[in-house]
Each structure stands twice: as C-alpha cells, then as structure tokens.
Structure 1
Amino acid sequence: MAASNAQVSFKPALLVVDMQEDFCPPDGSLAIPGGRDIAPLINTLLSMPFALKVATRDFHPQDHISFHTSHAPPNNKPFESSVNIHDPGNESRTHEIPIWPVHCVQGTKGADIIPEIDVSKFDMIVEKGRDKRLEMFSAFADVFGNKSSEAASIDLADTLKDAGITHVYVVGLAGDYCVGCTAIDAKKEGFEVYVIEDATRSVDAGERGWGEYKKKMEKMGIRIIRFDGPEVERVKSRS
C-alpha cells in the first residue's frame, strides 16, 4: 500500500530564538556563555531550504515586570529573587517568574539581533514579551498559555499552520528558557519538533538547567538532535 500524504509530508520551518546582543558576551546584560559561538552554525542552517525561516526576539518595555528595576529591595536581586505575576484575564491565576537584569529593551542595542546572524535570510521576526505585565519565554504564548497582540507581534502558531509547516527545528538562546519553552509550545500546537543541541546554548548548561529541559522535552516527544544528524540532512535534500 502506498504511503499516505500525511506520512510523507515534510515542510520544515527553522525558528532562531533570541540571538540578541543582551544575551551574548561580552557586553550583554544577560549574557549566556558561548552565545555568539553558535552563529556560524545558525547561518549554515539559514542557507538550507527550510520552507519558512523565523527569528524571535525579546522586545520588552523599560518597565517590564521581570526586571529587577521594577521591584523594591530586597526582592529585586537578579538570578536570586522571584515574583508572582497574575494573569490579566484571570487574576486568580498566578505564576512565579525569576527576576532578571534589564535586557532587550525596545529601541536599545541590547534588543538587536547580533550582526553575526544573517538577518536577510529570515522571512519574519517575531517580537515577544512586549506586555509589561507578563513573562513570555515561548514565542507562541505567555507563561499562562495566552496569546495576544499586546504580548507578541505575530501569532506564530497560526503563521506556521497557514504556511503548511509540519516540522519545526528550534535553535538559539537559551535552551533552558526561551528555546525550551518555544519547542514545548510548538509540540503542543501539533508540530513535529526538533531542537538542534549544538546550535543552542543555555543559562545553566548543567543537569539542573538544560539537563532538566531535555528530559521534559523528550518526555513530550520532542527530539534533541545534532547538526550532523539525519534530521538536518533531510532538510538539505528538499528540492
């Protein structure tokens, strides 16, 4: 019996997450070790025949709720403090988020995608985290799972589905936050999802950070792959 169209369908998208100045050494306010080092690999991926190539970037207002400057001492220590935020649509729902240094503020150099990345190859850029009241690690939804034009410039799920995308490859920064959350939400939206590990860097590269996210993603059926693996070769072979 011939394979069904669903079985042979392969229309992949590449999501390049938050390759921004503030997330990269040497001067980023929230620099992730090795953040710039993955740019050449990402550019190689951008040269491949993905059906859609999407960049995401944090694009916060100056008074974003995750910033240490938005809170009074002593609960305002970056990487140590946390705060409970409320779902604007349902105040009874709360979510605990980390407190961060000020980063990726709209209109600042820190919000720019690093020049090592060939931005001319992107079909679109999703600006996320624009609502000062909400944390948004994923490019698909905020931490409560909500989608709004206030929080993100593009409804990424609808955009991918309208383009007929079947598989999503995720790379960028950071594996244990925005990359991981974006991959998980992509899976929830019904896509086959791959995270290319050697094109990703994490805030915590150890077992408590990236290691925990890997386990969580793999449990959901997300594949953690390598650039030189057959999953990337399949993209290269697209006509």
Structure 2
Amino acid sequence: MPAPTPFKPALLIVDLQEDFCPPSGALPVPCGRDIIAPINTLLTLPFALKIATKDWHPASHISFATNHPSSPPPFVSTTTIVHPTNAAHSYTSTLWPVHCVQQSAGAEFAAGFDVDKVNTTVYKGMDERVEMYSAFCDPFQWVEGCNAVAVSELSGLLKEKGVTDVYVAGLAMDYCVLATARDAVKFGFRTWVVREGTRAVGGEEGARTAEKEMREAGVTVVAMDGGEVAWVRELKE
C-alpha cells in the first residue's frame, strides 16, 4: 500500500524520562528502557519534524499523592480535579508518586536516548492545578462549554511545518501515549503509534486495553517493520 497523499510525517516521542524507566525511576514503566533502541532507530528516519516531550511538574502538582491529605496510596487512589475557573466541570484522575519534578534528575531524558537527533522539546504538566497526560492539552479542552487550562505549543509546531501524519512512541502507552495519540487525531492528524516504541504501566494487559482504546479513537498501531514506517524510510532527505 502506498503512502497517503499528501504525506509529511513527524515523530513524537512522549516522556522518555528517567523517572519512567526501571530500575531506578520513581514511576517505572515495566520494560520501559526496552524502547530506547527502537526509538533511536526511528530518529534516523527522515521525519519532517522530531519532537520529544517532557513531563515537567512543579513539586506542588495535583497528581502527586503526597500533596493530598493523609498522603493516600499512589496508583490506587484518585482525586477530583475541578476546573479552576469553572467549577461546574471536573474529572477524576489517578494519584501518582512524585515524579518528573522540574530540574530533578528523574525529569531528565533517559540515558541512551539519542536526544541530539530531536529538533525540539515540548514541556507538559507544568500547571499544578490539572493533570495533563496529553502533550497537546488537558482534558478540559474537549468538554463542551469549557476551556483548557493548559495547552502546549505542540499543535502549532506541527501545523506550522505542514505535518499530515504523527508517529507516536514513548511512555507510557496506557496514559500519556494514549492521550497524546487521541488528541493528535482530534487536532486533525493521521496518527500512528509504533508498538515497539512504547510500553504500558499496566504491562501486557494495559497495552491491550490501550491499543483497543486507540483503535476506537481512530489511531492505528503499527510495527517497526510495517508498511507505515516504510513510508517514512522511503522519503527523500
């Protein structure tokens, strides 16, 4: 199958940071370091734009379990996030261990990640009042009668470059990769998640669930040796 026309692809590498990588990360994704080599291979391909994102939280972030009364256990506890200027709107979000705090060692890109081939870095999760799994915006963006609290420059960067297709990899498949891929579709991009380039917090079960949710959202999960990646490989530099 030939590449769609027009076809101008970008690579988006989500949160490939030390805190998400075992064995020492504060919020380690099982086998998270295994994706570094496939992502470095993707970085050698002639994508029109190569963007990495960083979770970049203030220490006071609402998603940290320790910032709530009695420090409820992370992973299994939740909090209600209320829109700071429109209290009629809210959503429930998981509480996590402290991770990816701005300027901390855990917020650095994972060792071995070939960052020199990345064109630019987009920071997310900087507003302490809202969770922001997606590298585009927080969930309030898509609530009728509501406005996003936090929006990154990602959509603008992609559209300024004339990107038509977004290839997504990174951590974690069942949270930030899932949310970012779904939003890429909503912002008008054909969206592909490279299976070898991502891992899930929930392991194999989490990956299966995430892949199902992606398909339902119009995202296609592809393989490194599949035709969709070959389209990029065959582009002229």
TM over 0.5: same fold?
yes
Deviation at 1:147, TM superposition (A): 4.7
1:17 matched to which residue of 2?
14
Aligned-pair Cα RMSD in Å: 1.3
Deviation at 1:210, TM superposition (A): 2.3
Matched-pair contact (CA < 8 Å) for 2:9–2:48: yes
| TM alignment of 1:71-82, pairs within 5 A | 71-73=68-70, 76-82=72-78
Matched-pair contact (CA < 8 Å) for 1:12–1:235: yes
The CA distance in 1 between the partners of 2:183 and 2:37, in whole Å, is: 26
Matched-pair contact (CA < 8 Å) for 1:140–1:147: no
Q: Letter of the aligned partner of 1:123 in structure 2?
A: N
Moved over 4 A (4+): none
- Does structure 1 residue 161 correspond to structure 2 residue 186? no
Runs of 5+ in structure 2 lacking a partner?
Answer: 142-146
Q: What TM-score results when the alignment is normalised by the length of structure 2? A: 0.93
| TM alignment of 1:144-183, pairs within 5 A | 144-145=140-141, 147=148, 151=150, 154-183=152-181
| TM alignment of 1:31-42, pairs within 5 A | 31-42=28-39
The CA distance in 2 between the partners of 1:220 and 1:83, in whole Å, is: 25
Q: What TM-score results when the alignment is normalised by the length of structure 1? A: 0.92
- Does structure 1 residue 117 correspond to structure 2 residue 113? yes
1:219 matched to which residue of 2?
216
| TM alignment of 1:45-194, pairs within 5 A | 45-73=42-70, 76-145=72-141, 147=148, 151=150, 154-194=152-192
The CA distance in 2 between the partners of 1:24 and 1:143, in whole Å, is: 25
Describe the superposition over 1:165-186 as per-residue Cα deviations: whole angstroms up to 9, x where unpaired: 0000000100000000000000
Runs of 5+ in structure 1 lacking a partner?
Answer: 1-6
Q: Letter of the aligned partner of 1:157 in structure 2?
A: S
Describe the superposition over 1:187-208 as per-residue Cα deviations: whole angstroms up to 9, x where unpaired: 001100000111110001243x
Q: Letter of the aligned partner of 2:13 in structure 1?
A: V
The CA distance in 2 between the partners of 1:163 and 1:89, in whole Å, is: 33
Instruction: Give the fraction of aligned pairs with identical amino acids, expressed as a percent.
Output: 49
Figure out how many residues of one structure are paired with residues of the other and give that number.
228
Q: Letter of the aligned partner of 2:90 in structure 1?
A: T
1:201 matched to which residue of 2?
199
Matched-pair contact (CA < 8 Å) for 1:147–1:155: no
